Structure 1
């Protein structure tokens, strides 16, 4: 007799972020210099809004992207630490993982660039040292951070903590659901009660047959 074996392949979690590599926009970085400064309130990059200060929308003519041809410098101009955000649907109580690539603008001080990532009322800070890096050797590093959703929609925000005009660089952003909100499990006492009723029912049926 032939026995069929079924292998269930793991399902890859869907990326909840739109345009995470910043490839799509209504504007194009000029060349030269290979970047375009966007002011607070700008929605020129599809799916994203500039939330504070200014950011630079950077092309590979200026420096190497982590994914595709575009990336961001979260410090657009001197003393103007920038930020961006995107809102997406979430399930209350579910755990989500933010994954992104970080580097830094290597052209100006300080050598260590700092960034804050926030969502669902929590945040975490990240840093990157540009020592020895250049536009053709950015040294992109993958970072990750988890949060638990507290609403049916969540806003993810990245902000610069540097503010020198040469800040943290960002690319290749994604958010995936790590674990779902667990469904309710009957209390042990309830389960025992259900089993007891079942046993009594079987006993009564057998008694009638006798």
Structure 2
């Protein structure tokens, strides 16, 4: 019942998704939501600039850090992405969708605890439209205990492909919001 109501809400407008999602098909072509490819050496990171990629993810502005296994805690697999590598970055992936269908996006959010400011901010965009703003307080967090929180939103596909993007709005700093475990699923409204 909650899932059906959440899907109805998503169908009427782009909105936050507040119910627990049942198993649903993954969006066509969406991949590397945990940033596991390319694989980095343990305990290292790589700075990537606009025009470079992390598998199917494109760095569309600024600079981001791909964080390797063991550098700090990840929520799925071993790698994650810091959306500030000296300047705010945007990372985006385009995947296949069915126009008019509802999709849910879940992701894990933290922040680089080694850099100021303590509060890391950013936003999620769907086809260039901001659909969710986020912030994360790194106070008391560490590389071994990042304090990830789960985030969720929903959108209605408007075309055969959709572009999902995560953008830092944290001012220029060597450490910003951290994302991991991004998942996109078609909303199963019949459950």
TM range (shorter): 0.7 to 0.9
Q: What TM-score, normalized by structure 2, do the two folds share?
A: 0.80
Residue by residue, what CA displacement relative to the aligned partner does 1:85-108 show, whole Å, maximum 9, x if unpaired? 101111111111110000000011
Q: Which of 67, 70, 80 is 1:61 aligned to? A: 70
Query: Is 1:75 aligned to residue 94 of structure 2?
Result: no
Query: Residue in 1 aligned with 2:9?
Result: none
Counterpart for residue 177 of structure 2: 168
Of 144, 158, 175, 1:150 maps to 158
What is the deviation of 1:28? Answer: 2.2
Which gives a bigger RCO, structure 1 or 2 (Cα 8 Å, sep 6+)? 2
2:11 maps to which residue?
none
CA distance in 2, matches of 1:35, 1:29: 8
Unaligned 5+ runs, structure 2: 1-21
Question: What is the aligned partner in structure 1 of residue 149 from structure 2?
Answer: 141
Alpha-carbon distance between aligned partners in 2 of 1:82 and 1:106, rounded to the nearest angstrom: 17
Rg comparison, structure with higher value? 1
Unaligned 5+ runs, structure 1? 1-10, 181-210
**Residue-pair matches, total:** 164
Once residues 50 and 29 of structure 1 are traced to their aligned partners in structure 2, the CA distance between those partners, rounded to angstroms, is: 21
Distance of 1:158 and 1:39 partners within structure 2: 15
Match of 2:58 among 49, 58, 63: 49
The CA RMSD over aligned residues, in Å, is 1.7
1:36 lines up with 2:46 in the alignment: yes
Contact 2:74–2:80 (8 Å) recurs in 1: yes
Given the two structures, how large is their TM-score scaled by the length of structure 1? Answer: 0.73
Residues 1:91 and 2:98 are matched in the alignment: yes
- For 1:173 and 1:123, the matched residues in 2 are separated by 15
Query: What secondary structure, in the 3-state scheme, does the structure 2 residue paired with 1:101 have?
Result: strand
User: Residue 23 of structure 1: CA displacement?
Assistant: 0.7
- 1:29 CA displacement: 4.9
Larger helix proportion of the pair: 1
User: 97, 102, 115: which one pairs with 2:109?
Assistant: 102
Determine if contact 1:101/1:142 at 8 Å carries over to the other structure: yes
